[in-house]
Structure 1
């Protein structure tokens, strides 16, 4: 079994604790669902936010996922590099997961305006 990175991103309209947590939770649930993940599969998660998202640590959303084992997944939040012209109001995550899936089998999740980040990896349902 190897370790793979699973990317995700979502945008919010307002920088409120409720909206950031809700959007982040939606993104995480979609990544988990599309990739058939369990908490035990996840080695760690790194979250970033753009400078305009500062109301809450998005990692708090992972603690609201179903199941007590989410408490044992290492989480960290960071600030995204403020590149001029980059997508605003964005929360990103990279999950390091233990999996037998190939890189091509991993489903990355980009929601809302974040689909602009990697249209080559975006699968619309």
Structure 2
């Protein structure tokens, strides 16, 4: 089955180093929590808010072993008034045996506000 795995994080400034660092951490958690193998990934799409343009978060995948050949693209998020600033979102399209409700969507930092209904409570499996 093909599933989409969502995630998002925020940065504190428009800095290439921080964008890559936070994107790597986000992807590492998405991969780990969902037992994702790069070979089973169809594509990865990153979006960024208008205030982030110092680098492409897609570069973060090149920091991960085995992800060199995974197709990846970056896009600009729709500039909705009062939306969360300094935000990086990601959608990983992957072949998996997991059921929809088993997928762990990962939200870091201020991005936890985007989907509080999907956040695990500390200590829950």
Under a length normalisation based on structure 1, what TM-score does the superposition of the two structures give? 0.95
Give the Å deviation of 1:35.
0.6
- The separation in 2 between residues aligned to 1:25 and 1:57, in whole angstroms, is 12
Asked whether 1:14 is paired with 2:13, we answer: yes
- The separation in 2 between residues aligned to 1:25 and 1:109, in whole angstroms, is 13
- The separation in 1 between residues aligned to 2:105 and 2:15, in whole angstroms, is 25
- The separation in 2 between residues aligned to 1:41 and 1:112, in whole angstroms, is 28
User: Which SS does the other structure have where 1:71 is aligned?
Assistant: coil
The residue aligned with 1:102 is: 99
- The separation in 2 between residues aligned to 1:101 and 1:118, in whole angstroms, is 20
- The separation in 2 between residues aligned to 1:102 and 1:33, in whole angstroms, is 17
The residue aligned with 1:63 is: 62
**Structure 1, gaps ≥5 residues long:** none
**Structure 2, gaps ≥5 residues long:** none
What's the RMSD between the two structures over aligned residues?
0.8
- The separation in 2 between residues aligned to 1:74 and 1:123, in whole angstroms, is 29
Greater than 6 Å deviation, 4+ residue runs = none
Q: Cα 1:23–1:124, aligned 2, differ >3 Å: closer, same or farther?
A: farther
The residue aligned with 1:73 is: 70
Task: Work out the number of aligned pairs and report it.
Answer: 122
User: Which SS does the other structure have where 1:70 is aligned?
Assistant: coil
- The separation in 2 between residues aligned to 1:105 and 1:56, in whole angstroms, is 32
User: Which SS does the other structure have where 2:117 is aligned?
Assistant: coil
